[in-house]
Amino acid sequence: MSFDLRRAAPARRAILWWALAAPTALFAVLAICVGAGADAIIDLDHDVAQDAYDYASRHGGLVDFLDVVAVVFSNLGAGIVLVLLAAYALWRHERRVAIWIAVSGIVAIGGNALIKLAYERERPVFDKPLHEIGGYSFPSGHSAGSGMLVTVAILMTIVLTGRGWKRRIIITLLVLMGLGVGASRIFLGVHYLSDVVAGLAFGTAVALGFWIVLVSDATRVPHELAALTGTGRKRAAVVLNPSKIADVEAFKERVRLVAHRDGWKEPLWFETTIEDPGHGQASAALRADVDLIVAAGGDGTVRAVCEEVARTGVAVGILPHGTGNLLARNLSIPLNTRDALDVVFGGQDRAIDLSTLKTDSGTNTTFLVMAGLGMDAAIMTGVNDQLKAKVGWLAYFVSGVKAARFPAMKVQISVDDGEFKKFRARTVVVGNVGFLQGGIPLLPDAQIDDGKLDVVVLAPKRFIGWLAIIVRVIGRQKRTNERLDRLTGHKVHIKAEKKMPMQLDGDPVGEGQEITAEVQPGVLLVRVPLAPAPAAAV
Q: How far apart are CA 451 and CA 480, in angstroms?
A: 23
pLDDT of residue 222: 42
- The correct CATH number of 358-520 out of 1.10.3720.10, 2.60.200.40, 3.40.50.1820, 3.40.50.150 is 2.60.200.40
d(CA 466, CA 25): 51
Query: What's the mean per-residue pLDDT of the chain?
Result: 84
pLDDT of the residue at 390: 59
Grade residue 537 by pLDDT with cuts at 50, 70 and 90.
Answer: very low
pLDDT digits (tens, 9 = 90+) for 266-296: 999 999 999 999 999 999 999 999 999 999 9
- Contact of 349 with 526, CB cutoff 8 Å: yes
Residue 204's alpha-carbon distances to 7, 149, 208, 223, 336, in angstroms, are 19, 8, 6, 30, 26
Reported as a pLDDT band with limits 50, 70 and 90, residue 231 is: very low
Q: Max alpha carbon distance in the chain (Å)?
A: 87
pLDDT score at 510 = 84
Which amino acid would we find at residue 497?
E
Q: Do 272 and 241 form a contact (C-beta atoms < 8 A)?
A: yes
Q: Cβ distance 471 to 91 under 8 Å?
A: no
For the purposes of burial, counting CB atoms within 10 Å of the CB of 124, is it exposed (0-12), middle (13-18) or buried (19 or more)? buried
CA atoms within 13 A on the CB side of 149: 28
Rg of the chain's alpha carbons, rounded to an integer? 28
Check: CB of residue 485 under 8 Å from CB of residue 422: no
* pLDDT given for residue 221 in this prediction: 44
- Report residue 388's pLDDT band, with 50, 70 and 90 as the boundaries: low
Residue 293 has phi, psi (to 5 degrees) of -115, 125
> What are 433-445's pLDDT values in tens digits?
766 655 566 666 6
pLDDT over threshold 60, residue 223: no
**Domain with residues 223-346, CATH architecture:** 3-Layer(aba) Sandwich (3.40)
User: What distance lies between CA 527 and its chain's CA centroid?
Assistant: 20
Using alpha carbons, list the distances in angstroms from residue 53 to 66, 193, 196, 442.
Answer: 12, 12, 15, 54
Task: Single out the residue of 211, 215, 216, 259 nearest to residue 236, CA to CA.
Answer: 259
Question: Are the C-beta atoms of residues 153 and 220 closer than 8 Å to each other?
Answer: no
Where would I find the H helices in 288-349?
299-309, 326-330, 337-346
CB contact burial 127-166 (16+ within 10 A = b; e otherwise): eeebbeeeebbbbbbbbbbbbbbbbbbbbbbbbbbbeeee
More confident call, 283 vs 232: 283
| Three-state secondary structure readout of 69-109 | HHHHCCHHHHHHHHHHHHHHHHHCCCHHHHHHHHHHHHHHH
Helix (H) or strand (E) holding 26: helix 14-36
Q: How far apart are CA 272 and CA 516, in angstroms?
A: 28
The answer to whether residue 536 scores a pLDDT higher than 50 is no
Give pairs for 424-427: CB < 8 Å, separation 24+.
Answer: 424/459, 424/482, 425/374, 425/457, 425/458, 425/459, 426/374, 426/375, 426/458, 426/459, 426/460, 427/372, 427/373, 427/374, 427/375, 427/376, 427/377, 427/457, 427/458
Higher pLDDT, 131 or 7: 131
The CATH 2.60.200.40 portion of the chain extends over 358-520
pLDDT confidence tier of residue 491, bands split at 50, 70 and 90: very high
What pTM value is reported for the model? 0.62
Q: Are 469 and 483 in contact (CB under 8 A)?
A: yes
Burial class for 32, CB neighbours closer than 10 Å (0-12, 13-18, 19+):
exposed
β-bridge partners, 517: 357, 492
Helix, strand and coil content of the chain, in percent to the nearest 5, comes to: 50, 20, 30
pLDDT at 362 over 70: yes
What is the secondary structure of 454-508 as a DSSP string? EEEEE--SSHHHHHHHHHHHHTT-----SSEEEEEESEEEEEEEEEEEEEETTEE
Ranges in the chain annotated CATH 3.40.50.10330: 223-346
What three-state secondary structure class fits 368? coil
Q: What is the DSSP letter of 140?
A: -
pLDDT at 373: 87
- Whole-number Cα distances in Å, 353 to 279, 368, 517: 19, 7, 12
- Which has the minimum average pLDDT: 114-123, 242-251, 348-357, 442-451? 442-451
Confidence band, pLDDT 50/70/90 cuts, at residue 462? low
> How far is the CA of 425 from the CAs of 165, 490, 518, 532, in angstroms?
39, 22, 21, 42
Q: Is 338 strand, coil or helix?
A: helix
**Cα atoms found within 13 Å of the Cα of residue 334, Cβ hemisphere only:** 26
Distance CA 538, CA 534 (A): 12
The torsion defined by the Cα of 191, 193, 194 and 195, in degrees rounded to 10, comes to 20
DSSP string, 144-205: HHHHHHHHHHHHHHHHHS-SSHHHHHHHHHHHHHHHHHHHHHHHTTS--HHHHHHHHHHHHH
CB burial string 443-467: b at 16+ within 10 A, e below: bbebebbbebbbbbbbbbeeeebbe
DSSP state of 257: H
Q: Given this model, what pLDDT does residue 401 score?
A: 64
Q: Within 10 Å of residue 191's Cβ, how many Cβ atoms?
A: 31
Give 61: exposed, middle or buried? Use CB within 10 Å, 0-12, 13-18, 19+.
Answer: exposed
- DSSP per-residue letters across 376-396: HHHHHHH--HHHHHHHTTHHH
